Amino acid sequence: MKISRRNFLWISGAVITGSLALKLGLTPEEKVVSKDLRIQYAESSTTICPFCGVGCGIICYVEDGKVVGTEGDPDHPINEGALCSKGSALYNMAYVYDEKGVPQINPRRLTQVLYRAPYATDWEVKDWDWALETIAQRIKKTRDTTFEKTDSDGVTVNRSKALAWLGSAMCNNEENYLFHKLAKALGIINIDHCARL
């Protein structure tokens, strides 16, 4: 039987737990160690850490449509289960613990589109249709008014220096390929990425 790194860690954990229970003289019913595991009945799926370009693999545990835990993916070739402090705290993007240690929805998490008009001091709540339409219109207007077919030497450049594109470490290679294509099609030459590794 081929044992993956992930299975190996699960099996090791089970063996250690079993040995500990035996040493303590606990019956199977008294093996409280795994009883309260938050992820006990959760389904798991994998994702990529959204914080930087290292692209560490993370396992998300989901129960009833809610994330109940996250941890480093031992099978992922980049991090082999390890996470830095940011990746280790990924769960807290969605939930924080109250004084009793019970997870509560993180009140600081943004769940709506917020828009602050030029010179305004307050944020307005907008819907996604408005946001996407407005972004598209502004990109089009900026591109149309600043597009250069040639530079001052007559060399064909087909560019707009007034637009910039910022990628995301959360996107995979295929998504970034498409984003890059779209940016180039718009004539954007200022292309960067939050991780820039």
CB-count burial class (<10 Å; 0-12, 13-18, 19+) for 148: middle
Binding of ligand SF4 by 171 (CB under 6 A): no
> At closest approach, how far in Å is the CB of 141 from ligand SF4?
36
Q: Which of 5, 66, 86, 138 binds ligand SF4 (CB under 6 A)?
A: 86
- Residue 18 or 50: the one with the smaller Cβ distance to ligand SF4 is 50
* Contacts of residue 79, Cβ cutoff 8 Å, sequence gap at least 6: 54, 56, 57, 72, 73, 87
Binding of ligand SF4 by 62 (CB under 6 A): no
Binding of ligand SF4 by 83 (CB under 6 A): yes
Binding range to ligand SF4, per CB under 6 A, among 23-31, 44-52, 137-145, 152-160? 44-52
Residues 68, 62 contacting (CB under 8 angstroms): yes
Q: Which of 26, 39, 52, 94 binds ligand SF4 (CB under 6 A)?
A: 52
* Contacts of residue 84, Cβ cutoff 8 Å, sequence gap at least 6: 56
Name the token pair of 107: 């009140």
Q: For residue 92, give the DSSP letter.
A: G
Binding of ligand SF4 by 59 (CB under 6 A): no
Q: What is the contact surface with ligand SF4 in residues (CB under 6 A)? A: 49, 51-52, 54-56, 79, 83-84, 86-87
